Each structure stands twice: as C-alpha cells, then as structure tokens.
Amino acid sequence: MITRTGAVCGGAALAAGVVTLFVAGISAVSTAAALVGVVLLAGGQLIQSGRLVDLASASLFLALLVAALQGATTTTVLVAGGATVLAWTFAHAAMDLYADLGTAPGTPVELTHVAGTTGLVGGSVVVTTLLFQLDVPALSPLALASVVLGAIALTAALRR
C-alpha cells in the first residue's frame, strides 16, 4: 500500500522517463542523454526540486532531438515526445500534491490524474502518428488560413 502522497505520480514519471530512454535511445549519445534525464528525474523527486525536474525533462528532450537528427522514425519521435511530456507533468504533479496534501491519502486523485493525462497525451500521439501516415494533398495558404480562422472562431464561441 502506498502511504506517501505523490508516490503514484512519481512512479508514473519515472516510468515515462524510462519509456523515453528505451524509445529514443537509438545511439550512444541519445541513450546517455536519456539516462541522465531519468537519473535527474529521480533525484529531483527525492529532493523535491522543480528545477532539477525541469533539467531532467530538458535532458530527455535532448535525447529525443538527437534521436530525431539521427534518423528515428516519426512514430519513435512522437512516442518519445509524449513520454517526455508525461514524465515532466507527473513529476511536477507528484511534488505539488505532496506539498498540498502532505501525508493525506491522495492515491485515487493521483490514479485519476495519471490515467486521464496518459489517455490525453497517448491519444494525441496516436492521432498525430496517423495524420503523418496519411497522404493528404497540400493545402493552399488561403485554405489553411480559413481552417485556422475557423478553429479560432469555434474556440471563441465555446468559451462563452
């Protein structure tokens, strides 16, 4: 049984960091950057340092960039990017929950946060991967501007 508030999110952050390590680690440089990121992520959570977590996430992102520059597939880059975002989000959530709740039971809240955020980011990665697989003809600049304007108008209408 988990007794420390933030442990679920912290564990999910480390798991997401490890996913980035395994997915983006296609060369010695990207593997080293991802490994440094995971170690810094664990250290940042142990000492409750948001700056260290940010540095860890930057290191994970560097691993993803190096992998992309060395020819990683689109799917690899998107999965590593999603895992990096999840690692950063969950690590900060773990620290914030611990700061707010202390030792109060927070496991249901954390499980809900982890499931919802993973579903949202995972869904975005899947949709983006599928869009990259489609062979869509190029849009004219006017058509693209119309789509963007329509999205802005729809967002503005939904906010009312």
Residue 136 has pLDDT above 70, yes or no: no
The pLDDT, as a whole number, for residue 134 is 78
Euclidean distance between CA atoms 116 and 79, whole angstroms: 17
The pLDDT, as a whole number, for residue 160 is 56
**Residue 80 domain-assigned?**
yes
**Residue 23 domain-assigned?**
yes
Q: What is the pLDDT of residues 54-74, one digit of tens each?
A: 999 999 999 999 999 998 888
Residues present in the chain in total: 160
The pLDDT, as a whole number, for residue 2 is 53
Euclidean distance between CA atoms 10 and 93, whole angstroms: 8
The pLDDT, as a whole number, for residue 3 is 63
The pLDDT, as a whole number, for residue 139 is 63
**Residue 54 domain-assigned?**
yes
Tell me how many domains the chain contains.
1
Residue 4 has pLDDT above 80, yes or no: no
- Between CA 2 and CA 55, with CA 85 as vertex, the angle to 5 degrees is 90
Pick the more confident residue, 83 or 5. 83
**Residue 160 domain-assigned?**
no
Which residue segment(s) compose the domain that 89 sits in?
7-124
**Residue 145 domain-assigned?**
no
| Residue 105 contacts residue 5 (beta carbons within 8 Å) | yes
Q: How many CB atoms lie within 10 A of CB 78?
A: 20
**Residue 118 domain-assigned?**
yes
Q: What is the pTM of this model?
A: 0.81
Determine what percent of the chain is predicted with pLDDT higher than 70: 92
**Residue 66 domain-assigned?**
yes
**Residue 17 domain-assigned?**
yes
Give, as one character, the DSSP assignment of residue 106: -
Structure tokens given for 56: 């860890």
